Amino acid sequence: MELLIVSASQRTGSQSAKIARYLSEKADSFRKINHVELCQYQLPFWDGSADSKSADDSSWPLIAQQIKNADALVLITPEWGGMASPLMKNFLLMCDSQDSAHKPALLVAVVSGISGAYPIAELRMNALKNNKLVATPDHLIIRNVEQVLNHDEPEDKRELHIRERIDYSLHMLMQYAQALKTIRLNHQQQPYPKQQEYCYGV
């Protein structure tokens, strides 16, 4: 089982990347773990055309291959003005359902204060329709992110709770990855007649 962790802050040295590194260390039930920090890649602004993904110097083909290889994804976005980051939205628009469909995704919001629910709600509502990723029922909101997951041991009970919730969420993500792999195999071996007519979600 392969896991792809995508962190979508538009800043280098971000808290989102810090959380991605922590999750990478904890997701040891996966055979292989890749972390894509989107701000480190040259990505075009998707204009609706498949050609824009492979424009000169675009890094998208490299990322698309990692999506194709993955059995599960973790999508980490900072909260910017109550929204998911533009980089995360662009990433999800560029995902091809041939690579991403019927794969579980753990949604993670990172916020410096005490909010963080809005990016999760936004991603659940309208970000997974055409790429057909399957958001797990559990999600993570890492609040006051500068104060947590900085050391080997938790600083207080609140951080201990966050760490335990992370462990549980990654455990369940593996369960969904195993289950949905069966669905993907069945979908390939027993395709629905004219299934390409239903390539877009409703």
DSSP track, 46-109:
--S-GGGGG-TT--HHHHHHHHHH-SEEEEEEE-BTTB--HHHHHHHHH--HHHHTT-EEEEEE
Q: Please report the pLDDT score of residue 47 as a whole number.
A: 87
Q: Please report the pLDDT score of residue 37 as a whole number.
A: 98
Segments of the chain scoring below 50 in pLDDT:
none
Q: Please report the pLDDT score of residue 100 as a whole number.
A: 97
Q: What angle, rounded to 10 degrees, do the helices at 60-69 and 86-94 form?
A: 70
What pTM was estimated for this model as a whole? 0.95
Q: What angle, rounded to 10 degrees, do the helices at 157-189 and 15-26 form?
A: 70
**Domain coordinates of the chain in residue numbers?**
2-198
**Pick from 68, 67, 45: which is nearest to 58 by CA?**
45
CATH architecture of 2-198: 3-Layer(aba) Sandwich (3.40)
- Read off the tokens for 64: 């698309």
